[in-house]
Structure 1
């Protein structure tokens, strides 16, 4: 196994996250171009339908690849399907075919395909030799960079036109298909898919702790994706390009600081970063809503990203600590399912509350969830968390 193989798989993970975030900064303009109203409800629907497909089809792709004993053809199919769906959205606008409901159906199809490329690329990283920490470190960097760069680049693409992020996404996913055709298929023959994840959770119910924290953290990611976009656009009258740069103040430190903070959790344990980071994270979310100016809001948003980076790698490492070596792939699969549900919840719940009760109420709910899970879980967390056993980012 070569380093380039790991890099190519990480590239796939990066592209899917990057293209997902491309549409966020100007989603109101995109929705309007697709025939919908430029409202938070329509934006919520467009972003949420992709996440719904992620949740529904992640396990389907995994089970199919396990049964076939191959992964590469499924990743190529997922990337090409996503490319076709993005191009179909562009064609629908160019030809005037269909309405916003048709666009939502195409968005669902796109999500159903691209989650296959994303989840199976991470699974292939898990399958590789060379150290679980190193392979997951590559996945974490790819996810972080995709999230950090997607919003600011997407904001600049919106300055070209509302469909530019869709065209860019189609091109990148087509490139993924080409790259994956050069990767050897090293699928193990003893995988059990989603059944293994459920069995592992029954045998180790304490995994619900990191799963719950992962849900809450990804909830806030989805929340900022939809509510943050409309909040900054409407409250401070920002353009999509400016909104993308503002969102980068959250996603950039969240991505770049995960490795050093993951290493910190190896030295001091998982409990302190998770508890202190989550409480501070929740308070900082409220701070964004109370900021009197865009400059103050950006500064607080940067703090939110830093605190998120403190929590996320410690939570993921906690999954590794709790699961037996031969259960880690299934355990991480369960963690990712809870994370996808959290991201979907952040979009649906955050967007719904903001639409019905205003932005401050939505920020308050997101903050309460982040802090509340600490208050509920802390007594159990202190009792069941093992000493750090797996060094973040290094081979075992």
Structure 2
């Protein structure tokens, strides 16, 4: 294993830790908010999950601009992970009501997004093998969510707040390990955060991966809440079995991202994104209309495979288009778009499911995926192939 491979693995480990800690609470979110005294656990769980992503949206750009300006990544990643660990610990031990838990959740999210976004940004800095680097980020995201769901379900069976303790431990370890990674950030500049945002706005091509990032995370947010409620209510699964069912999506989503990311270095970003987006929405609808649990679980596997086709190519497209000195704020913009999508999937999908039922909610989620992908696809096809990975070759295959 080369030094670059070790750094890639270490940074992917940080990304894994953030997602693993985050998803630990998903299967038992309703039980957790009930422990804080929420009167309507199902509705309250929606807002508990959404609060973290609201903080992601608000603070991702702050972390990215600060890192670009300082010309450093590692201190910010370690600070975000260690402080986020304290946020999880505070949620676990604090004797607060639901309103207090939401405030702590917002603080924890504002801190944790720094470690997540900047670890991916450091993978952008690592080498010119953008698809491979983003494939490593993708497999870390997928493994974190794949393992977090079943482990979180089992921990919830022990105690509603047990997943929070697990998240605190994992993030603390990630923060300490991050300090051992060499910092490859480009030299800093004196631009303010506002100037960094202006420079991002001056590159309209980035709107393409941002749009697809929004779409993909919208569906992930939908499954995080509505999928959990759907499997528990429609099929009578407990928290542990629900976590294992969610893992049927996240496992192939994780394991296939690295090879699909490498593939996008060879064939370009357009084909994986276009093919994946054209079929992903249909697969989502299929899960909601499955006639039995087995068919629904098979649909989750299909959704996971198609997500793995799209995700690394979409993140690599950000890397292809971003200037070296603006990668932090560019990846922050991508994560803001993704967090907005996740937030919309949680709040919008949850509201539709609550008012109209699961069938309409899945139809909305899959239909929105198809419509938004169709609107964004023409702009993707207009990008210059030479700028989006088609000529890239992995240097350390």
**SS of residue in 1 equivalent to 2:236:** coil
Deviation for aligned residue 1:279:
2.7
Deviations 1:235-292 (A, max 9, x none): 1110111000100111111111222333444455444432332232111111111112
Q: Deviations over 1:78-126 (max 9, x none)?
A: 222222222222222xxxx321111111111111111122222223333
C-alpha separation in 1, matches of 2:329 and 2:75: 22
Say which of 116, 129, 149 aligns to 2:147. 149
**1:165 CA drift (Å):** 0.6
Give the structure 1 partner of residue 15 of structure 2.
Answer: 13
| TM-score normalised by structure 2 residue count | 0.89
Alpha-carbon offset, residue 68 of structure 1: 4.4
CA distance in structure 2 between the partners assigned to 1:44 and 1:354 by the alignment: 12
Given the superposition, is the C-alpha separation of residues 76 and 273 from structure 1 closer, same or farther in structure 2, using an over 3 Å criterion?
closer
1:86 aligns with 2:88: yes
Counterparts in 2 of 1:393 and 1:239: CA distance versus 1, 3 Å: farther
The 8 Å contact of residues 132 and 395 in structure 1, kept in 2 or not, is answered as no
Q: For 1:277 and 1:135, how far apart are their aligned partners in 2?
A: 20
Go from structure 1 to structure 2 and tell me whether the alpha carbon gap of 1:88 and 1:266 turns closer, same or farther (over 3 Å shift): closer
Q: Distance in 2 between matches of 1:45 and 1:313?
A: 29
**What's the secondary structure of 1:80's corresponding residue?**
helix
Equivalent residues in 2 for 1:152-301 (5 A)?
152-190=150-188, 198-199=197-198, 201-301=200-300
1:26 maps to what in 2?
A: 28
Q: Give the SS at the match of 1:118.
A: helix
Deviation of 1:350 after TM superposition, in Å, equals 1.2
Residue 37 of structure 2: aligned partner: 35
Number of positions where the alignment pairs a residue of Structure 1 with one of Structure 2? 392
Deviation at 1:305, TM superposition (A): 1.1
Measured against aligned partners, the alpha-carbon deviations of 1:44-64 in whole angstroms (never above 9, x if no partner) come to 101010111111111222333
Q: 1:382 & 1:4 partners in 2: Cα distance?
A: 35
Q: Does residue 100 of structure 2 align to residue 102 of structure 1?
A: yes
Query: Quick one: distance in 2 between partners of 1:2 and 1:391?
Result: 17
8 Å CA contact 1:133, 1:394 repeated in 2? no
Gaps of 5+ in 1: none
What is the distance in 2 between the residues matched to 1:169 and 1:151?
12
Whole-angstrom distance in 1 between the partners of 2:395 and 2:368 = 32
Distance 2:77 2:331 in 1: 19
Once the two structures are superposed, the pairs formed by residues 380-395 of structure 1 within 5 Å of their partners are 380-384=379-383, 386=385, 388-389=389-390, 391=392
Q: Is 1:136 the equivalent of 2:134?
A: yes
1:32 is displaced (CA, Å) by 0.8
Q: Between 378-387 and 231-240, report the one with greater CA deviation.
A: 378-387
Report if the CA contact (8 A) 1:79-1:176 is conserved: yes
Q: Deviations over 1:203-259 (max 9, x none)?
A: 432332221111101100111001100111111110111000100111111111222
Counterpart-to-counterpart distance in 1, 2:118 and 2:265 = 28
Deviation at 1:147, TM superposition (A): 1.9
Distance 2:71 2:260 in 1: 36
Per-residue deviation, 1:134: 4.4
- In structure 2, the CA distance between the partners of 1:395 and 1:333, relative to structure 1 (3 Å rule), is farther
**Structure 2 match to 1:118:** 116
Q: CA 1:323–1:112 in 2, change beyond 3 Å: closer, same or farther?
A: closer
Match of 1:36, SS state, is coil
CA contact (8 A) 1:320 1:390 kept: no
User: Which 10-residue stretch deviates more, 224-233 or 365-374?
Assistant: 365-374
Runs of 5+ unmatched residues, structure 2: none
Provide the C-alpha distance between the structure 1 equivalents of 2:8 and 2:199, rounded to a whole number of angstroms.
27
Once the two structures are overlaid, the 10-residue window that deviates more, 218-227 or 253-262, is: 253-262
Aligned 8 A contact 2:134 2:316 in 1: no
